[in-house]
Chains A and B, each alone.
Chain A
Amino acid sequence: MSEIEKIDGFTEEEQLDFEAELQEGYADIEDRYAVDTQQGFENVLVVDNIPVIDDSKKQKLIDRLRQLFAKAGAPIEEENISMPWDDKAATNKGFIFLTYPDAQQAENALRALDGSSFGKSTLYVNRFGDIERYANLPVGEGELPTGWREKSYVEKDHLRSWLGDNAGRDQYLTFRDTDVSIWWNGRNGNAEPVKVDGKPLKNSKWGELYLQWSPLGTYLTSLHRVGVALWSGPKLDGPIGVNVLRFTHPGVRLIQYSPCENYLVTWSEEPLDNFENHPNAALRETFGPEDEGNTFVVWDIKAQRVLRTFPPEKPVQGEDGPQQMPWPLFKWSPDDAYIAKVNVGSGIAVYELPGMGLLDKKSIKIEGVQNFEWCPMSDKDFAARKAGKGKECSFVFWTPEAQNQPARVSIMSIPSRNILRAKNLFNVTDCKFYWQSQGDFLCVKVDRHARKAKSKKATFCNLELFRVREKDYPVEVIEFKDYVPQFAWEPQGNRFAMVSSNDPNYGQGIPGVVIKYNIDFYQLDQKKGDFIPIKHLDGKIANTLVWSPRGRHIALATIGSSQKFDVEFWDLDFVVDERREASEPGANVTMLASGEHYGITDIAWDPSGRYLATSASAWRQTPEPGYCIWDFKGQQLVHQPQDRFKQFLWRNRPSTLLSKDQIKKVRKELKEYSRTFDEEDAAEENRGSAEKLAQRQRDISEWNAWRARNNKKIDERRAQLGKEKKVTVVNHQDDERVEEIVEELIDETEEVVVG
């Protein structure tokens, strides 16, 4: 009405006439002269999101835009750009029209320009016709287009229900032949099948290829020939797309989760086909023609879609025999923000998530780069990140010697690409990186060869220990004259253990020879700030180190030998005498026990660090497949030899939700808590044994009843046949006495009698 009111000097009647005319009359005219925006404007584009400027900068903006367009391959004359102007604000309206000579050129420009960045903003280019068309779609706000099937929302089952176990037990999975069972690991090796509605969890689909838990234990991952399935919730089953997620990737062989379980990388040996006309809808919808020939797929787990696929990589010669796919090939930053891959010799490609675009549109060029490893983040780092003031991510990489340039280890921060620390190295054969679990320390194990040696075979080894939390990343170097096949940081601690060997038979692979190793423990000297040896063990046969996830305890195992299968349990803080500890670090390093698991191929601590599982998998040609569970003291609780046993997997746990103070409080009041727990344990034990007793009682009574029935039947039949029962002749009371007379020559003398 406002327009009408503006017209002065008309009567009310006339005004009504006007109104009617406006509403009806113009409608005809509008219809007749309506512009069909779909046609005749194919050569016009609308560029949105350009900077809003005033008159003074107008010419400059147009010039710069024209430069950009020309660079992108879509040059345009100035007179063909029209910039709508907002007279009131004296600025432009934030978009421009481009009129190209023909539709083809406009179409090319659209492709070239859409999404290009201009300063800080990204330009959005649309066809002129499209804007009108989408604005006039016959779909109102909040409505859905026709043909749209809305999926009803299905509540997910609780993804972390297993953490709510009253006794705080951990779960583990055993995979034998084609059967997969999931168990609660009770006290003293009391395994109880995980049950849902009174029935043990079972799924015949799980045992196809192999299984894996996700890093935080949420998903059970089963690999199938057609792809990967993720099972979650208390039932580890449920509706597809809710508690069961499927990722179709034919021939999938290897998978890797991102640390926070947001993404997944899968690799298949078979390159993806063009699935455009494939009968399987899942394949058709998942992959596009641009994915053809690729073997790596990066998935978004929650959205259940492909983020990006990558072409195949050449497998490398494995250390032991056949060609192997180096895995993980893609490495995730600890916060799921980046995924990176090394292009050996040329650089590192870092992709940002979830867009999966290259960071700053280009990979990081590093001449000669061989390998890299992300720095882990501690809980503190995560908290700081949340508060918005955390450090950047960083990774370490190394480049070998080339043309008078020394080899170099560098730490680079991402996304800024600053080199935080670099160190030159000489006579390097290979480098391996070991980050401490909290990202406090970094050990670079440098395999070196003699200075003038002809072959570049490594003969000795340096450990370069970076203290990452300190200013300028101070480095300490420990030199060894031996091979160092194993190195491991104490999780969350400041100690490390390493295996070295100067056995001449090392690496020769002579069957039947037991290689002797030395094992050393080092500790950070808080006062001096450097690492000092605290314990040296000589002539050990253990070649594998496994720290408890809580630190302090470590298991030394002999794996891969055909004669020795020892497992030793060590405690680094076994306090015998507190005074001694003060004067002599390492005095408390004590072996608690040692055991043997015949045929051992794998070893793993449970997430709580209370139990250790050793397993022998039929996949690795062990003479005796099966598994054992030990407590941290080295006492064997479970010994289960099982034919065709394949996998033993502890279910991972997310890190605790308790704050530092809460943990401290629990520690302090441990005695209070332990009393209740002890009572519960005692009750549990009684109940368990009572159950077993009852079962045995049943077994016996059933057996006796069956025997009585059978005996009666047979006696009747015997009578029928007129036969007599044979009585055993032997009397038990007087056993036959067997006497043996043994003559023994006590002495013999020979005398010569001279006659």
Chain B
Amino acid sequence: MKPIILQGHERSLTQIVFNSEGDLLFSASKDSVVNAWFTSNGERLGTFGGIKGDGGHNGTVWTVAVDSQTRFLITGAADNTMKLWEIATGKCLFTWDFLTAVKRVAWNEEDDTILSITEQRSGQPSIIRIYKINRDEPTMQTTTPITTMTLSGSKATVALWTPLSEYILTGHESGKVAKYDVKSGEEVNYVDDAHKGEITDIQSSPDGTYFITSSKDKTARIFDSETLEEMKVFPTETPLNSACIAPLRPYIILGGGQDAMSVTTTSQRAGKFESRFWHKLFEEEVGRVKGHFGPINTLAVHPQGKAYASGAEDGFVRVHWFDESYFRSRPFGDLEPEVEV
């Protein structure tokens, strides 16, 4: 499994996403640009906001989301803006201005609505806003959200939509997992101590009926999207920054590592900068992929389960196409759950 190394960012990665076909990868970074890459060979398709003054972000891009048709891209950044881009041209179509940084954005299933989480800072609470997106005239967007959820407790760090776009699921700094009704903006369900540390990532299963969370408490957990019931726990020995669920095979991928701050000058191994593969059902580790020399900040898996990519503090993205043996091997014998795509 020889990786394709994507060298195009000057600073550490914050979030990477595949498009729905899996042929493109979008990477957001602290160097304030978003790159689009061909996953097959690692060639760069283009950059969003590469040239100064063309409407690009002016600060760390914290988050990136692509719609299912690969037409539009939403990004959120530390310059207190959220932007809508046209993927084909790389043009910025619209900019929303906020009082604090935008930490997370996500498209719903129908591609007509997005969510954004703004940071809690300088007296401003953490707010989740839901916007309708005008797909026909993309430069004419409304700045009035259809729903606003002002969080009074622990701030939300990550969020995602449920399959039918009726609810959103959030992960919080306190380790709480919650579910909000999109229309009313009310919290309909929550688990206060889902994790014992900050939730760093939330990603859904291929069909959205369950989701995985990663946390600084060194565990990843799978929850039922409907009931928020904890299904599985994956304990590791390092703080986790990202987790994703691989389609086709019954695995999940976890990534993390010691905080950049506490990484010492000792060996690379000490940092535990490996992507770890765990069996989703048996809660047992099946393998590791090394390569990064900084903590893994973000992981994404090919929507058809053919590859995965990791973006790290070291500024590199590594795309791994799975070998034939990955699909063939049965580390636990012939016992396999139904295949999910």
- Whether A738 contacts B335 by the Cβ 8 Å rule is no
- Whether B224 contacts A703 by the Cβ 8 Å rule is no
Question: How far, in angstroms, from A700 to B332 measured CA to CA in the complex?
Answer: 12
- Over the window 729-744 of chain A, the binary record of Cβ atoms lying under 8 Å from chain B Cβ atoms (1 yes, 0 no) is 1101000101010000
Question: How far, in angstroms, from A562 to B231 measured CA to CA in the complex?
Answer: 39
- Whether B164 contacts A703 by the Cβ 8 Å rule is no
Question: How far, in angstroms, from A697 to B269 measured CA to CA in the complex?
Answer: 35
Interface residue B68 (Cβ < 8 Å from any Cβ of A) = yes
Interface residue A710 (Cβ < 8 Å from any Cβ of B) = yes
Q: Which residue of A lies closest to B224 (CB)?
A: A710
Question: How far, in angstroms, from A693 to B332 measured CA to CA in the complex?
Answer: 9
| Partner of A714 from B38, B209, B336 at Cβ < 8 Å | B209
Interface residue A423 (Cβ < 8 Å from any Cβ of B) = no
- Whether B335 contacts A696 by the Cβ 8 Å rule is yes
B77 to chain A, nearest CB (A): 29
| Partner of A626 from B110, B209, B237, B338 at Cβ < 8 Å | B237
A697-B209 contact given A710-B226, A714-B164, A736-B23, CB 8 Å threshold: no
- Whether A641 contacts B21 by the Cβ 8 Å rule is no
- Whether B68 contacts A726 by the Cβ 8 Å rule is yes
Which residues from A are CB-within-8-Å of B218?
643
What total count of A-B pairs have CB within 8 Å?
Answer: 78
Q: Which residue of A lies closest to B165 (CB)?
A: A723
Question: How far, in angstroms, from A732 to B20 measured CA to CA in the complex?
Answer: 13
Interface residue A624 (Cβ < 8 Å from any Cβ of B) = yes
B39 to chain A, nearest CB (A): 9
Q: Which residue of A lies closest to B227 (CB)?
A: A710
Interface residue A623 (Cβ < 8 Å from any Cβ of B) = yes
Q: Which residue of B lies closest to A643 (CB)?
A: B237
A563-B164 contact given A624-B237, A642-B237, CB 8 Å threshold: no
Question: How far, in angstroms, from A486 to B319 measured CA to CA in the complex?
Answer: 49
Q: Which residue of A lies closest to B332 (CB)?
A: A696
A566 to chain B, nearest CB (A): 13
Please provide the chain A residues from 556 to 583 with a CB less than 8 Å away from any CB of chain B in the complex.
562-563
Question: How far, in angstroms, from A721 to B163 measured CA to CA in the complex?
Answer: 12
Which residues from B are CB-within-8-Å of A598?
269
Which residues from A are CB-within-8-Å of B266?
562-563, 623
Q: Is the interface of B mostly helix, strand, loop or mixed?
A: loop
Interface residue A704 (Cβ < 8 Å from any Cβ of B) = yes
Which residues from B are CB-within-8-Å of A711?
207, 209
Please provide the chain B residues from 172 to 230 with a CB less than 8 Å away from any CB of chain A in the complex.
207-210, 218, 224, 226
- Whether A699 contacts B281 by the Cβ 8 Å rule is yes
Which residues from B are CB-within-8-Å of A563?
266-267
- Whether B270 contacts A623 by the Cβ 8 Å rule is yes
Question: How far, in angstroms, from A502 to B266 measured CA to CA in the complex?
Answer: 26
| Partner of B281 from A624, A703, A710, A713 at Cβ < 8 Å | A703
Q: Which residue of A lies closest to B333 (CB)?
A: A693
A729-B21 contact given A710-B209, A740-B41, CB 8 Å threshold: yes
Question: How far, in angstroms, from A721 to B167 measured CA to CA in the complex?
Answer: 14
- Whether B163 contacts A714 by the Cβ 8 Å rule is yes
Q: Which residue of B lies closest to A723 (CB)?
A: B164
- Whether A732 contacts B226 by the Cβ 8 Å rule is no
Question: How far, in angstroms, from A254 to B46 measured CA to CA in the complex?
Answer: 66
| Partner of A625 from B237, B335, B340 at Cβ < 8 Å | B237
Which residues from A are CB-within-8-Å of B210?
710
Which residues from A are CB-within-8-Å of B338?
704, 707
Which residues from B are CB-within-8-Å of A717?
164
| Partner of B336 from A626, A700, A740 at Cβ < 8 Å | A700
Which residues from B are CB-within-8-Å of A726?
68, 109
A210 to chain B, nearest CB (A): 21
A738-B41 contact given A700-B335, A729-B21, CB 8 Å threshold: yes
Please provide the chain A residues from 617 to 667 with a CB less than 8 Å away from any CB of chain B in the complex.
623-626, 641-643
Interface residue A56 (Cβ < 8 Å from any Cβ of B) = no
Interface residue B282 (Cβ < 8 Å from any Cβ of A) = yes
Question: How far, in angstroms, from A706 to B270 measured CA to CA in the complex?
Answer: 39
Question: How far, in angstroms, from A642 to B236 measured CA to CA in the complex?
Answer: 8
- Whether A721 contacts B207 by the Cβ 8 Å rule is no
- Whether B303 contacts A693 by the Cβ 8 Å rule is no
Interface residue A278 (Cβ < 8 Å from any Cβ of B) = no
Which residues from A are CB-within-8-Å of B21?
729-730, 736
A704-B237 contact given A711-B209, A713-B226, A723-B164, CB 8 Å threshold: no
- Over the window 683-717 of chain A, the binary record of Cβ atoms lying under 8 Å from chain B Cβ atoms (1 yes, 0 no) is 00000000001001101100110110011011001
A697-B304 contact given A703-B281, A717-B164, CB 8 Å threshold: no
- Whether B41 contacts A730 by the Cβ 8 Å rule is no
Q: Which residue of B lies closest to A736 (CB)?
A: B23
Which residues from A are CB-within-8-Å of B164?
714, 717-718, 721, 723
Interface residue A146 (Cβ < 8 Å from any Cβ of B) = no
A728-B226 contact given A700-B335, A717-B164, CB 8 Å threshold: no
Question: How far, in angstroms, from A428 to B256 measured CA to CA in the complex?
Answer: 54
- Whether B270 contacts A703 by the Cβ 8 Å rule is no
Which residues from B are CB-within-8-Å of A626?
237
- Whether A728 contacts B303 by the Cβ 8 Å rule is yes
- Over the window 658-684 of chain A, the binary record of Cβ atoms lying under 8 Å from chain B Cβ atoms (1 yes, 0 no) is 000000000000000000000000000
B49 to chain A, nearest CB (A): 27
Q: Which residue of B lies closest to A625 (CB)?
A: B237
Interface residue B341 (Cβ < 8 Å from any Cβ of A) = yes
- Over the window 487-516 of chain A, the binary record of Cβ atoms lying under 8 Å from chain B Cβ atoms (1 yes, 0 no) is 000000000000000000000000000000
Which residues from A are CB-within-8-Å of B22?
730
Question: How far, in angstroms, from A638 to B142 measured CA to CA in the complex?
Answer: 59
Please provide the chain B residues from 297 to 335 with a CB less than 8 Å away from any CB of chain A in the complex.
303-304, 332-333, 335
Q: Which residue of A lies closest to B111 (CB)?
A: A726
Question: How far, in angstroms, from A696 to B281 measured CA to CA in the complex?
Answer: 8
- Over the window 156-175 of chain B, the binary record of Cβ atoms lying under 8 Å from chain A Cβ atoms (1 yes, 0 no) is 00000001101000000000
Question: How far, in angstroms, from A625 to B235 measured CA to CA in the complex?
Answer: 14
Which residues from B are CB-within-8-Å of A704?
337-338
Question: How far, in angstroms, from A151 to B285 measured CA to CA in the complex?
Answer: 55
Question: How far, in angstroms, from A453 to B332 measured CA to CA in the complex?
Answer: 67
Which residues from A are CB-within-8-Å of B7?
none
Question: How far, in angstroms, from A730 to B20 measured CA to CA in the complex?
Answer: 9
Which residues from B are CB-within-8-Å of A707?
209, 338, 340
Question: How far, in angstroms, from A360 to B163 measured CA to CA in the complex?
Answer: 88
A697-B207 contact given A714-B163, A730-B304, CB 8 Å threshold: no
Which residues from A are CB-within-8-Å of B208?
714
Interface residue B40 (Cβ < 8 Å from any Cβ of A) = yes
Please provide the chain A residues from 506 to 563 with a CB less than 8 Å away from any CB of chain B in the complex.
562-563
Q: Which residue of B lies closest to A562 (CB)?
A: B266
- Whether A728 contacts B237 by the Cβ 8 Å rule is no
- Whether B68 contacts A732 by the Cβ 8 Å rule is no
Which residues from A are CB-within-8-Å of B224?
706, 710
Q: Which residue of B lies closest to A738 (CB)?
A: B40
A728-B20 contact given A693-B335, A703-B281, A711-B209, CB 8 Å threshold: yes
- Whether B304 contacts A732 by the Cβ 8 Å rule is yes
| Partner of B282 from A696, A710, A714, A721 at Cβ < 8 Å | A696
A28 to chain B, nearest CB (A): 88
B47 to chain A, nearest CB (A): 21
Please provide the chain B residues from 214 to 272 with a CB less than 8 Å away from any CB of chain A in the complex.
218, 224, 226, 231, 235, 237, 266-267, 269-270, 272
Which residues from A are CB-within-8-Å of B209?
707, 710-711, 714
A718 to chain B, nearest CB (A): 6
Q: List 19 A-B contacts (CB under 8 A).
A: A598-B269, A624-B272, A693-B333, A696-B282, A696-B332, A699-B281, A699-B282, A703-B231, A703-B281, A707-B338, A710-B209, A714-B226, A718-B164, A723-B110, A728-B20, A728-B303, A729-B21, A730-B303, A736-B21
* Additional A-B contacts beyond A623-B266, A714-B208, A729-B21 (17; CB < 8 A): A598-B269, A625-B237, A642-B237, A697-B335, A703-B337, A706-B224, A710-B209, A710-B210, A710-B224, A710-B226, A714-B164, A721-B164, A726-B68, A728-B341, A730-B20, A732-B304, A738-B40
Q: Which residues of A contact B (CB under 8 A)?
A: 562-563, 598, 623-626, 641-643, 693, 696-697, 699-700, 703-704, 706-707, 710-711, 713-714, 717-718, 721, 723, 726, 728-730, 732, 736, 738, 740
